[in-house]
Amino acid sequence: MKILQVVDGTGWGGTKEQTYLVTRELKKRGIDVHMALSSKYEQMMEKLRPYGVPFHFFEHDYKTNRKNIMNYVRLKKIIDENRFDIVVGNSPHAFDYVRFVKPFLKHKPKIVAVRRSGRVPSWFSKHFKYSAADKIVVVSRDVYETLKKANFFPEKLVVIESGIDLERFKPMPEKKEELRKKLGLPLDKKIFLNVANWNIDVKAQDKLIEAFAKLNCEDCLLILVGLETDTETKNIARKFGIEDKVIGLGFRSDVPDILNAADFFVLSSNLEGIAGALLQAMATGKVVLSTLAGGISEYLKDGENGFAVPVGDVEGMVEKMRKMLSLSPEEYKRISENAIKTANEYSIERTTEKYIKLFQELMNEK
């Protein structure tokens, strides 16, 4: 069984994190897995080199990416020369490449598309693009039901929940003070943390900052981590007059440390697949608050392992943040322990086993 994971562009986020983790775990299990990626994607290569994953470069001019015909030519050559059994497009853009080269391949692998959002593709995208997939992996039951209801190839849909790396994301309450000193964070403040690349249409950080402003907590800080949060956060915070209480740290590789240094985790998303960042926070034992976007309601139970509000409910977020601040140590511990138990059900090992099962089924169809 020979697998090719296709990723587009550079940078980091939930999609890239998941692709990296699954690829790593497949390799650790002895699967012959390769990766096709941009020649400039040093971050992914640095993470996977220790595991001996072979790299193939097809995006040389990644700034023009899908407009550059040579990117498609290179991907076709990679697939033909290596005779992969299964090719996985790990994002809509990555799958664009796979879709366009498929008719020209001499060797015909099975094709898998991955969709991490419940946003229903257009009629054209459905019939021209995703019709070429043998299977379409979705990351939550909610995304599955949404696409099934839209009659989006229900016979091709396979639910494989995204997984988290429980070796990296684990509770370290005894190191909280040490981590705050290391990160330069105040010891006497209650810290709310959000981890998401800046995208107010999807992640709704503007609504989160609005809710935090209405919380009006003198001894609280809101920290946002993710691409562009260091530049974009200031403008929204200034609008509500709380520039001194909101900090944007930008992209960070030490998210587990920042989580363990915080008191609470908050997610304000309008759209999600399964929200890996939320599960990572739960794995570290944080008391979390999130909108019930996408598949979040499948595991986040209000008052049991965290707190939840409907999508877009700013006033509800304020109310739940006040409730989080008023928790007794015993209540915090109960919710924290339940959160850890929930997160443990979403290990990357379980996710990888489901991918292996899918790949074996596809191999049997050949």
Arithmetic mean of pLDDT, 186-194: 95
pLDDT, residue 120, reads: 87
Q: Is the pLDDT at 62 greater than 70, yes or no?
A: no
Count of beta carbons in the 10 Å neighbourhood of residue 322: 13
- The domain defined by 2-163+347-365 folds into Rossmann fold (3.40.50)
pLDDT, residue 63, reads: 56
Q: What are the tokens at 137?
A: 């992996």
Q: Is the pLDDT at 67 greater than 90, yes or no?
A: no
Q: What are the tokens at 349?
A: 């090992």
- The domain defined by 173-344 folds into Rossmann fold (3.40.50)
Q: Are 101 and 67 in contact (CB under 8 A)?
A: no
Predicted structure pTM score: 0.85
DSSP annotation of 218 reads: T
Q: Are 293 and 269 in contact (CB under 8 A)?
A: yes
Matching CATH topology for 2-163+347-365 and 173-344?
yes
Residue 278 backbone dihedrals phi, psi, to 5 degrees: -70, -45
- Per-residue pLDDT of 196-205, as tens digits, reads 999 999 999 9
Arithmetic mean of pLDDT, 82-103: 95
Res. 253 pLDDT band, cuts 50 70 90: confident
- Per-residue pLDDT of 337-350, as tens digits, reads 999 999 999 999 99
pLDDT, residue 118, reads: 74
Out of 2-16, 65-79, 315-329, give the one with best mean pLDDT: 315-329
Arithmetic mean of pLDDT, 305-313: 96
pLDDT, residue 274, reads: 84
For the chain, the structural domain boundaries read: 2-163+347-365, 173-344
Q: What percent of the chain has pLDDT over 70?
A: 98
On the CB side of 198, CA atoms within 13 Å amount to 18
Q: What is the CA radius of gyration of the chain?
A: 21
